[in-house]
Chain A
Amino acid sequence: MAAPPSLHRPRIDGDDPLALGVASALARRYDVDVLPVRAAFVVLTVAGGWGAVLYAATWPVLVWRRPRLERPHPSLAAVPARRLGVLAGAVGALLVLRSQAPGFHDLLVWPAAAVAALLVVGWRGLGLDGIDTPVGGALSPDEAQRHAVRSGGGLLLVLGGIAYLGAADLPVGVLRDGLVAMAVVAGGVLLVFAPWVVQLTRSLADERRERIRADERAEVAIHLHDSVLQTLTLLQKRADDPQLMAALARHQERELRRWLYGAPEPDADRGFREAVEAMVAEVEDQHLVHVDNVTVGDGPIEPTLRTVIAAAREALVNAAKFSGERTLSLYAELRPQHVEVYVRDRGCGFRLEDVAPDRKGISDSIVARVDRAGGTARVRTAPGAGTEVRLRVERGS
């Protein structure tokens, strides 16, 4: 499928012909949902072939209207009164045909009418167009209820049909005809629904893939910013010290290799406290600052904590580079329900709105990163008043 995934529900509308496009053209022309029109054609075809005749007869008249891409106003079929009108009209037409035309056996007309009614009412009323939940996503109570109503209704119809057939004590011939007719109706319904279901599934999968890809890209960008870009900056600053430059480059190379080729993190079995201490020591060494590190609570390291520590590291590095202070404060608190980290300096401070949009330290490495972990990052600063970055992430039990 070449179409870009869209956030809107894909729908079979007037510009998406199933056969020759008669039904969709009619639906467009009279501004109703295409589904009832198709349902009516199916029912009429089953009930003596009238639908097919009508379809063939309408096609030459309507075909010239086909190319039109936008719908200028919302479908009137969305208005309940109009939908009920369509339903009443369909039932009325069926009743008239039943009494007048040959080939309309009760056994065919009533199940067909029931299916058509279910489709027409159910399309919106039962929330059939609400099947927009992400694959594997949880249903809201409202959605769950609609699901239940839908499944229950369907089951009731099937059971009712079987009971009806069993109780009717029909001759074998009529029973066979009825079953064939039902099969045809089911086939028709399938034909109407199948493309929509397929399209929906596909676009949901596409959307999900795209989202994962975007997340991965953001991860990579952040990682490169925190590691490679930072090291390059350091290298420029220390250009007069070849030994230090070599050491930094070696360190960065090791780190990048480990990241690229998936070697386990060195702190895999470290606790939170130790991981924070290691991070602090690294920042102190690389940026020649002193960090007053106070950590409360401890526990095994987990992905959320790793994220918070990485964001805190970025905040410390920012403070070391821009605050003008050589002593920074870090307070990390690990509780069963949440983790909180404060990074503070008494330096020059800045105006948040003065940060150039291409400086990614705060927006990406701190805020967006913590955001993705389901937490919040708050930066409090003013010129001359120092800076405090607060990170907080709730922990799942």
Chain B
Amino acid sequence: MSRARVVVVDDHRLFRAGVVAELGDAVEVVGEAHDVASAVAVIEATRPDVVLLDVHLVGGGRGRQVIEALPGCPARFLGLSVSDAPEDVIDLVRAGARGYVTKHIDGAGLAEAIERVAAGDAVFSPHLAGFVLDAFTGTGAADPAPSELDRLTPREQEVMQHLARGYAYKEIAQELAISLKTVESHASAVLRKLQLSSRHQLTRWAAQRKLL
């Protein structure tokens, strides 16, 4: 597979430089941007495979605005932020990002995440997996009869738990004695549920959680 073409959108120039250096030859960085307008312009001009997208951008802009400004864009978005606040994470993922990693991740991990997103799979950081478990199986939002979309299957729950415990996809496959492909499809299914779930309160719930 050819190297993924990547655009890095982040409000800190130094951080962008750091990401580019960390990724090295693993991917091809075709553009950078620091706010919503420049990000939209760069993405439309370069047609990247993957966009690394920060939650907060210069001038109070939000990452989700970039995604919303580009309907039908073939590029896949991967959230990348130092923020672990649940409302930021959920916000970006519900807007359509294929995954979310925190800035603690190392170069190799980030490169792997980019590849995974480029291939159409979902990327969960342990935190995102934790939020999903909390939102879908927690006691806080107990609907009397949740629809299929609002529930995780036992296997999906298991996969999320392992992700939250810090396991890589490959390790989960080994641990649960299933193929890597199956793990990936479970993760994608969970991501889809997160994005399509009728739980409108998801984002509100995430916001409230910060106040706890």
- Chain A residues near B (Cβ < 8 Å): 271, 273-274, 290, 292, 294-298, 327, 329, 331, 333, 335-336, 342, 344, 388
* A-B interface, 7 closest residue pairs, ranked by CB to CB distance from nearest: A329-B166, A294-B130, A331-B165, A294-B164, A296-B133, A296-B134, A342-B165
CA of A160 to CA of B188 in the docked complex: distance in angstroms? 78
Residues of B contacting A335 with CB < 8 Å?
A: 139
Check if A271 sits within 8 Å of B212, measured CB to CB. Answer: yes
- Known interface pairs A273-B212, A290-B104, A327-B104; A296-B166 also in contact (CB < 8 Å): no
- Chain B residues near A (Cβ < 8 Å): 104, 126-127, 129-130, 133-134, 137-139, 161, 164-166, 212
From A294, A296, A327, give the contact of B138 (CB < 8 A). A296
Closest to B127 in A: A294
CA of A290 to CA of B104 in the docked complex: distance in angstroms? 9
Check if B134 sits within 8 Å of A329, measured CB to CB. Answer: no
Q: In the assembled complex, how far is the CB of residue B10 from the closest CB belonging to chain A, in whole angstroms?
A: 21
Most chain B C-beta atoms within 10 Å of own C-beta, residue among A274, A290, A327, A331: A331
CA of A355 to CA of B137 in the docked complex: distance in angstroms? 38
- Known interface pairs A294-B126, A294-B127, A294-B130; A331-B138 also in contact (CB < 8 Å): no
Residues of B contacting A292 with CB < 8 Å?
A: 104, 126-127, 166
CA of A331 to CA of B131 in the docked complex: distance in angstroms? 12
Main secondary structure of the interface of B (DSSP, over half): helix
Residues of B contacting A388 with CB < 8 Å?
A: 165
Closest to A345 in B: B166
Q: In the assembled complex, how far is the CB of residue A161 from the closest CB belonging to chain B, in whole angstroms?
A: 61
Q: In the assembled complex, how far is the CB of residue B130 from the closest CB belonging to chain A, in whole angstroms?
A: 4
Known contacts A296-B133, A336-B139, then 16 further A-B pairs from the complex at CB < 8 Å, ordered by chain A residue: A274-B212, A290-B104, A292-B166, A294-B129, A294-B164, A294-B165, A295-B130, A296-B137, A297-B138, A298-B212, A329-B165, A331-B161, A331-B165, A333-B161, A342-B165, A344-B166
CA of A295 to CA of B165 in the docked complex: distance in angstroms? 10
Name 10 A/B residue pairs within 8 A (Cβ), A-sorted.
A271-B212, A294-B129, A294-B164, A297-B138, A329-B126, A331-B130, A331-B164, A335-B139, A344-B166, A388-B165
Check if B164 sits within 8 Å of A296, measured CB to CB. Answer: yes
- Known interface pairs A290-B104, A336-B139; A331-B212 also in contact (CB < 8 Å): no
Residues of B contacting A295 with CB < 8 Å?
A: 130
CA of A274 to CA of B130 in the docked complex: distance in angstroms? 15
What is the number of contacts between chain A and chain B, taking CB atoms within 8 Å? 43
Residues of A contacting B161 with CB < 8 Å?
A: 331, 333
- Known interface pairs A292-B104, A327-B104, A329-B126; A297-B165 also in contact (CB < 8 Å): no
Most chain B C-beta atoms within 10 Å of own C-beta, residue among A294, A296, A333: A294
CA of A331 to CA of B127 in the docked complex: distance in angstroms? 9
Closest to B130 in A: A294
CA of A331 to CA of B166 in the docked complex: distance in angstroms? 8
Residues of A contacting B126 with CB < 8 Å?
A: 292, 294, 329, 331
CA of A66 to CA of B164 in the docked complex: distance in angstroms? 72
- Known interface pairs A290-B104, A294-B164; A333-B133 also in contact (CB < 8 Å): yes
Closest to B128 in A: A294
Residues of A contacting B139 with CB < 8 Å?
A: 297, 335-336
Closest to B132 in A: A296
Residues of B contacting A273 with CB < 8 Å?
A: 212
CA of A96 to CA of B34 in the docked complex: distance in angstroms? 114
Q: In the assembled complex, how far is the CB of residue A46 from the closest CB belonging to chain B, in whole angstroms?
A: 69
Q: In the assembled complex, how far is the CB of residue A296 from the closest CB belonging to chain B, in whole angstroms?
A: 5
Residues of A contacting B134 with CB < 8 Å?
A: 296-297
Check if B130 sits within 8 Å of A296, measured CB to CB. Answer: yes
Residues of A contacting B164 with CB < 8 Å?
A: 294, 296, 331
CA of A329 to CA of B126 in the docked complex: distance in angstroms? 9
Q: In the assembled complex, how far is the CB of residue A365 from the closest CB belonging to chain B, in whole angstroms?
A: 21
Most chain A C-beta atoms within 10 Å of own C-beta, residue among B104, B134, B166: B166
Most chain B C-beta atoms within 10 Å of own C-beta, residue among A295, A296, A329: A296
Q: In the assembled complex, how far is the CB of residue A25 from the closest CB belonging to chain B, in whole angstroms?
A: 69
Closest to A340 in B: B161
Residues of A contacting B129 with CB < 8 Å?
A: 294
Most chain A C-beta atoms within 10 Å of own C-beta, residue among B129, B134, B137: B134
Q: In the assembled complex, how far is the CB of residue A392 from the closest CB belonging to chain B, in whole angstroms?
A: 12
Residues of B contacting A271 with CB < 8 Å?
A: 212
CA of A324 to CA of B61 in the docked complex: distance in angstroms? 40
CA of A335 to CA of B157 in the docked complex: distance in angstroms? 14
Q: In the assembled complex, how far is the CB of residue A16 from the closest CB belonging to chain B, in whole angstroms?
A: 59
Q: In the assembled complex, how far is the CB of residue B182 from the closest CB belonging to chain A, in whole angstroms?
A: 22
Residues of B contacting A331 with CB < 8 Å?
A: 126, 130, 161, 164-166
CA of A274 to CA of B139 in the docked complex: distance in angstroms? 17
